[in-house]
Structure 1
């Protein structure tokens, strides 16, 4: 462990010399709301999310535009990821600045960070923006920063952002008027295979070689999180088994998760299997979807596990079925649209892929048959809901089936809602 010198701190800060960080001109959809929160200087602003999706770039972009003194430091390097370094950095920036905004990258790697920031925030000495790739590290800090911290979870890049960074302009898709929106729509299905494989990682958008794409996803995201990040926060007895669980979820993304079966296959107890799944959630690598009528905390009822982005599925298994990538992308989109997402499964094993605020069935096939809608229509009738969505390859249609309205939406159109 070491404490950075003044020269080390200056090296991180072009702002000190009146220069800007060299950042992309493109700004993510979340940029404006986070920028406004930072600008108000009322809260400590935390930006969290999966590794390599652009958190550091986003906070540098905000720092480039914010008025007044501002400083940046990253705790990505192990040598600086300690409390004494943090204290030295913060106190130096406060000393040379006038109530500065201090941007602290990968703060979750520093034990005890929240207490120090709380002290200077309450004294009005500085405003803080922090980022982190592990939710538990930030969550621990939130407990002592109640009423002082505002957290923004930055999701992997959306299809709309993927199109925008490629310079593809699309008309606005209105959920309230899908038919009129589709009349203006220009199909983007030809870009879906690339998006599904590169998912939420912006650094991949200029890379075409499949092997390089997979290597990037595995080495800079999945493996680094599992073998380095998670063990820094949790006691992991068997890192290899933790990776095996991640590999299983990526290959079987969207499948029912049976703890006992997974544990038996990996020779792990049910408790350890459950614990490792939670670690992967905390690291933003996976999401657990509950069956309708249960709670997330209970594993007694069926659960589904999804990789956090389709690109992780592809990075782990290049031969994965495209339908798994599609369902994972649909789930990611629903998480963007609403916080209420479940799946439906009854004793007769009738299933609907996604329920909650939206009722959605995914059918990734060349021709959707009438029988493909049976479970969706059954659910809508059982729950007395008026309409549902059937996500497919190419067809847009609005059909009335047994008194229920089914919106057939092509995947590219749906992902741009």
Structure 2
């Protein structure tokens, strides 16, 4: 790798970043810490780096010459070896005499990057790195980095962020303004079906972009990165997971589907494939709170990290997308502290730390559906001290008072704004 190439990349980004048009997202960082931004591809990790740089420039805390940004997916640096990473800092110091803030984008592409970054941290550089693989959060990497980094998982835009992008401000008493409410619901429908990838927002053909992104994630972040040769099986797994949103799915059941399709796959390989899909931030799973430890791992409800990606697989998607979007939001809010509950009764989501239980139902207009959803919450409350009970629907809003319980019924768009 030639230093002149690295120097041109450094200066190129120094020219670009200050003029980039960025919609600010909430970003709270400690002044003296290093960070790892990790999450789904195209979720906005790089733009959060750019946002942070622009904020520093605006506050005059740094000058642009003090910024060293490298994107490891740039084809001009794609063949750099781990032993050449030191050239990046050397090239910078041949240009400037400052001690830079260092931003390393998608560095997981370089095998063995951890020791290089650790060395920079030991030398008191302020460092920000991004990656599209959850392995960057593994214990092994944290051991190598020596506790010098704080990890932040980055998601596609939330519904409030989507509204902000669309310059849609909720004024006082907006709930009583029928025109504003109708426009809000219309915008929610687009977000509901096509998800939170900002690059899709101005596009007319969002589905093609989402299909292309899925192929990039599957082929690049899953199949190529993990040297998978049984491509047909992993594609079948993803399809089955999409079709099975809302339902607990045992590993044995997935194996049965694969074998019935004429593919051969071992139990251990299936476990590996599911982990690869998790690592690429394509899917995530939640366990049954009442299951034994072994069952918690082998039987899960699995969801997609974005509704737009899920919607590329399914027809008549409304019920699945409704529950999937609730699952995404709960994972954002409570990380690993989200479960479902199934023991004589089934409740879609249980958050023990909040003593909260949530049912998801497209509509409660049918009396038997309403009774089933309410009864499940009542029965669960007899086993656990629940303080907050909710039923999330497409458009209905109500309060159910039954068995000395207060159950909120909320439309999803409103729940996402709380």
**Could you tell which deviates more after superposition, 126-135 or 378-387?**
378-387
Confirm whether residue 62 of structure 1 aligns to residue 52 of structure 2: yes
Contact in 1 for aligned 2:38/2:136 (Cα 8 Å): no
Q: Which residue of 192, 195, 198 maps to 1:196? A: 192
Are residues 264 and 399 of structure 1, via their aligned partners in 2, closer, same or farther at CA, if it must alter by over 3 Å?
closer
Shift of 1:305: 0.7
Cα 1:117–1:300 shift into 2, 3 Å = closer
- The 1-side partners of 2:121 and 2:40 are apart by 27
Paired residue secondary structure (2:211): helix
**1:250, 1:316 within 8 Å by CA — same for their partners in 2?**
yes
SS at match of 1:379: helix
Q: Is the 8 A contact 2:288 2:296 kept in 1?
A: no
User: CA 1:247 to 1:142, structure 2 compared with 1: closer, same or farther past 3 Å?
Assistant: same
Sort the Cα spacing of 1:113 and 1:283 in 2 relative to 1 into closer, same or farther, 3 A: same
Instruction: Name whichever of 297-306 and 259-268 sits farther off.
Output: 297-306
Q: Deviations over 1:6-35 (max 9, x none)?
A: 245423534645x63443331112x2x1xx
Q: 1:288 aligns with which of 282, 285, 298?
A: 285
Q: Secondary structure at the match of 1:80?
A: coil
Contact 1:99 1:127 survives alignment (8 Å): no
1:97-147 deviation line (CA, Å, top 9, x unaligned)? 4111011100111111111121122122x2211000011145343220122
Distance in structure 1 (CA, Å) of the matches to 2:400 and 2:285: 32
Q: Relative to structure 1, is the Cα distance of residues 171 and 405 closer, same or farther in structure 2, using a 3 angstrom cutoff?
A: farther
CA distance in 2, matches of 1:295, 1:279: 24
What per-residue deviation string (whole Å, max 9, x for no partner) do you get for residues 177-207 of structure 1? xxx9967996332222211222121100011
Q: How does 1:206-217 map to 2 (within 5 A)?
A: 206-209=202-205, 213-217=206-210
Per the alignment, do residues 108 and 320 of structure 1 end up closer, same or farther by CA in structure 2, a change over 3 Å counting? farther
**2:302 aligned counterpart, secondary structure:** strand
Query: 2:128 corresponds to which residue?
Result: 129
| Residues 399 and 408, structure 2, Cα contact 8 Å, conserved in 1 | yes
Q: 1:243 to 1:102 in 2, by over 3 A?
A: same
What is the TM-score when the length of structure 1 is the normalising length? Answer: 0.86
Q: Distance in 2 between matches of 1:85 and 1:302?
A: 44
**CA RMSD across the alignment:** 2.5
CA contact (8 A) 2:68 2:92 kept: yes
**CA distance in structure 1 between the aligned counterparts of 2:170 and 2:299, rounded to whole angstroms:** 39
Residues 216-241 of structure 1 deviation map (CA, whole Å, 9 limit, x = unaligned): 11222x22122122245434231232
- 1:175 maps to none
Partners of 2:392 and 2:415 within 8 A in 1: yes
Compared with structure 1, are the counterparts of its residues 381 and 82 closer, same or farther at alpha carbon in structure 2 (3 Å cutoff)? same
* Structure 2 gap ranges (5+): 260-264
Structure 1: how far apart are the matches of 2:320 and 2:169? Answer: 27
Bigger drift between 367-376 and 384-393 goes to 367-376
Q: Distance in 2 between matches of 1:415 and 1:197?
A: 15
Secondary structure, in 3 states, of the residue corresponding to 2:284?
strand
Q: Retained in 2: the 8 A contact 1:387–1:406?
A: yes
Q: 1:119 to 1:384 in 2, by over 3 A?
A: closer
